[in-house]
């Protein structure tokens, strides 16, 4: 044990070393395809007697509040993957915690070993899964550097075209990584420019909801549920299944709805058309990365305005609303029997002329 002041100093130094060395960072940082302004995902692994509810969300949260370098601290204990969000020296960090069935975490702890999952709960499995999936993807691609270059390119394309956002029903980092990894497996000798072109060709023709899988689905004796639409009724409703490699295999794109799938498929089709023109020297690569003109694409929009007393309240309120935009999309689809399509835009907007703490989310509507 240590005094509070010592703990605060140790946590601060630890965060600095993690940010500088990228040690312990998972998902896109683990894949080494991060770009400017990208969030840092940090997984903290602790012994069995250090729990998430008290030690992480209460004790560690209290320590972080004492750090001057930490701002916009927001615990999200009820998320699908529980975490704390904050900024450290202005850099956005998502901090996850996993308590494993060990009294002491050894220096050579290997998160990819199956034994790590023994005796842990579902939330811990999901917290561990980011690192485990990243490691597995890198093992399954034939050329890691070509994979990384192609993934950087397509992540940037997705951000420009407004289809990079897991929370609003599009695709997030792990989804894009698995899709790109499949193309690398299909074309093991292709250079990144060809892999980008083949990406759009393959997924323009892909017959969803046929799943994207990098390897066969593994079963184990640990009892965790794996993606299987034959046994699990909920899995049958997934419209764009992208299955994580390694046990327990999950659908990483369960947030995608019929409306957002339609938008993604439209963007795949347009990307394929531009790549064909590039192959014929009728277009340049800059054409592929033109931003999507969201406010010119529709004639009708649904606007969700968020107003709060101050910036701290706005951040909490905005996070709550944003996490439920996907449910709004699903209800619009259901209550109109699919006749009204909803395109949620992943970015929020604020009016600089208004003096109060506020922001707005927009959804394009079409029949």
Write out the two tokens for 40.
Answer: 């840092």
289 three-state secondary structure: coil
d(CA 327, CA 10): 41
Q: Kindly report the CA angle at 297 between 291 and 300, in degrees rounded to 5?
A: 140
Question: Which of 30, 48, 50 has its CA nearest to residue 38?
Answer: 30
Length of the chain: 367
Element (H, E) at 266: helix 258-279
DSSP secondary structure, 70-119, as one string: EEEEEEETTSSS-EEEEEETTEEEEEEEEE-S-SS--TT--TTSGGGGTT
How many Cβ atoms from other residues are within 10 Å of residue 344's Cβ?
26
d(CA 124, CA 99): 7
Annotated binding site: 39-41, 94, 155, 164, 173-174
d(CA 310, CA 31): 37
Residue 127 has phi, psi (to 5 degrees) of -65, -40
pTM: 0.87
pLDDT at 10: 56
pLDDT at 247: 87
* Residues facing 302 on adjacent strands: 363
Write out the two tokens for 124.
Answer: 């811990």
Residue 151 has phi, psi (to 5 degrees) of -65, -40
Tokens 């347009």 found at:
270
Those residues of the chain that have pLDDT short of 70 are 1-30, 32-38
pLDDT at 104: 87
pLDDT at 14: 57
Contact 358, 351 (CB under 8 A): yes
Question: Which of 212, 132, 230, 131 has its CA nearest to residue 171?
Answer: 212
pLDDT at 92: 87
Domains of the chain: 4-8+19-132 (3.30.460.10), 141-288 (1.10.1410.10), 294-366 (3.30.70.590)
Measuring CA to CA, how many Å separate 134 from each of 1, 35, 169?
Answer: 34, 17, 21
Annotated binding site for ATP: 39-41, 94, 155, 164, 173-174
Element (H, E) at 337: none
Q: Convert the pLDDT of each residue in 198-227 to its tens digit.
A: 999 999 999 999 999 999 988 777 778 889
Element (H, E) at 43: strand 40-46
Annotated binding site for Mg(2+): 39, 41, 94
pLDDT at 30: 60
pLDDT at 279: 93
């Amino acid at each position: 044990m240590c005094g509070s002041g010592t703990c605060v100093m140790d946590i601060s130094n630890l965060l600095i070393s993690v940010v500088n060395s990228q040690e312990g960072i998972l998902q896109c940082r683990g894949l080494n395809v991060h770009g400017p302004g990208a969030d840092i995902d940090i997984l903290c692994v602790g012994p069995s007697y250090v729990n998430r509810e008290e030690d992480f969300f209460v004790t560690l949260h209290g320590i972080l509040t004492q750090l001057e370098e930490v701002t916009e601290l927001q615990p999200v204990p009820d998320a699908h993957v529980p975490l704390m969000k904050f900024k450290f020296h202005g850099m956005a960090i998502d901090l996850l915690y996993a308590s494993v069935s060990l009294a002491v975490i050894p220096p050579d702890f290997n998160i990819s070993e199956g034994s790590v999952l023994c005796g842990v709960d579902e939330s811990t499995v999901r917290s561990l899964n980011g690192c485990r999936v990243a490691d597995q993807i890198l093992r399954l691609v034939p050329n890691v550097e070509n994979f990384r270059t192609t993934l950087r390119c397509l992540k940037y394309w997705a951000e420009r075209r407004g289809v990079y956002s897991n929370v609003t029903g599009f695709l997030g980092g792990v989804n894009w990584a698995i899709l790109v990894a499949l193309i690398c497996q299909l074309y093991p000798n292709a250079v990144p420019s060809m892999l980008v072109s083949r990406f759009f060709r393959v997924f323009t023709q892909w017959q969803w909801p046929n799943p994207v899988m990098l390897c066969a689905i593994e079963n184990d004796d640990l009892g965790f549920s794996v993606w299987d639409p034959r046994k699990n009724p909920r899995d049958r409703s997934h419209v764009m299944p992208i299955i994580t490699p390694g046990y327990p295999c999950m659908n990483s794109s369960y947030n995608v709805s019929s409306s957002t799938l339609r938008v993604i498929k439209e963007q795949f089709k347009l990307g394929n058309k531009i790549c064909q023109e590039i192959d014929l020297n009728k277009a340049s690569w800059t054409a592929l990365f033109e931003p999507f003109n969201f406010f010119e694409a529709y004639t009708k929009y649904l606007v969700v305005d968020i107003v709060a007393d101050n910036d701290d309240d706005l951040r909490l309120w905005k996070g709550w609303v944003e996490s439920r935009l996907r449910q709004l999309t699903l209800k619009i689809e259901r209550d109109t029997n699919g006749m009204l399509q909803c395109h949620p835009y992943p970015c929020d907007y604020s009016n600089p002329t208004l003096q109060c703490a506020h922001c707005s989310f927009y959804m394009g509507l079409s029949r």
